[in-house]
Amino acid sequence: MEKISACIFDLDGVVVDTAKYHYIAWKSLAKGLGFNFTKEDNERLKGVSRMRSLDILMEIGGVDLDDETLLKMAAKKNEEYLEYILKMTPDEILPGVKDLFENLKENGVKIALGSASKNAMLILKQLKLTSYFDAIVDGTHVSKAKPDPEVFLKGAELVGFKPENCVVFEDAEAGVEAAINGGMRCVGIGSPKVLGKANFVVPGFEGFTFETLKKGLDK
């Protein structure tokens, strides 16, 4: 098996559950435009960039707006989203994440972030996790969205390892595909039904260590 030198983590849905805040903010935007937005609809926005999420929302509502108005809508949604993000505390870090970070460090494995979010730096600060990361690549650094591998390839480059020595952790199908497209191995966080293309899938990080990772990839 190729050596594991770095782990690249997606943020939303892997390190923290921000989907619930995205949902509230998108729902309130939809309400203002006169249509309903459901939890099932929200599933379609996981891992998807802010503007692409807005496109999907407009498609759901059957609303057609010009580009300038769309930009204003995206800014409005983000303002509401930020109200929730600013109230976030380290208590919201998903179970097992911090232990895994410590364990990876003890094993000399580098940790990088590979997120589509333009709010990633703020979220890491709220969670007091910034200092764990050897490299951070977020939505402000990339021009191509997942499933394009750009975000993960940049992360690998920043920590100084080849894609084959990096493992990605993802909760979205497009993210798993991005890892594969970049020549990296991938652990899915969530349901095997959605993340079947990953090397293996776990429901979460509780009890998950570097050993678990090596064993899972060995199978």
List, in sequence order, the alpha helices (H) in the chain. 19-32, 39-43, 50-61, 67-85, 97-106, 120-127, 150-159, 173-181, 192-195, 210-218
The whole-angstrom separation of Cα 24 and Cα 3 is: 41
67 is catalytic: no
Q: Is the dihedral of CA 31, 34, 38, 41 positive or negative?
A: negative
Q: Rule CB under 5 A: choose which of 7, 13, 177, 201 binds Mg ion.
A: 13
Q: Does residue 10 carry a catalytic annotation?
A: yes
Any bridge partners for residue 187, and if so which?
Answer: 169, 200
Rank residues 13 and 188 by Cβ distance to Mg ion and give the closer one: 13
With CB under 5 to 8 Å by kind, the binding choice for 189 among ligand BG6, Mg ion, none is none
Question: Which of 163/175 has CB closer to ligand BG6?
Answer: 175
Q: Nearer Cβ to Mg ion, position 162 or 197?
A: 197
173 contact choice in Mg ion, ligand BG6, none (CB below 5 to 8 Å, kind-dependent):
none
Residue 52 vs 197, nearer CB to ligand BG6: 52
Q: What is the dihedral of CA 72, 14, 168, 143, to 10 degrees?
A: 0
Q: How far are the Cα atoms of 23, 28, 78, 99 from residue 93, in angstroms, in the given order?
A: 18, 25, 21, 11
For residue 10, state whether it binds Mg ion (rule: CB under 5 A).
yes
What DSSP line would sit under 89-116, residue for residue?
-GGGBPTTHHHHHHHHHHTT-EEEEE-S
Q: Which of 10, 41, 138, 171 is catalytic?
A: 10
CA separation for the pair 195, 15 (Å, rounded): 17
Q: Which of 93, 172, 178, 213 binds Mg ion (CB under 5 A)?
A: 172
Q: Which stretch binds Mg ion (CB under 5 A): 3-11, 34-42, 144-152, 156-164?
A: 3-11
**Stretch of 47-55, 97-105, 193-201, 205-213 lying at the interface with Mg ion (CB under 5 A):** 47-55
Per CB under 6 A, residues contacting ligand BG6 are 11-13, 22, 45-50, 53, 78, 115-119, 139
Site of interaction with Mg ion (CB under 5 A)? 10, 12-13, 47, 171-172
Q: Active-site residue numbers?
A: 10, 12
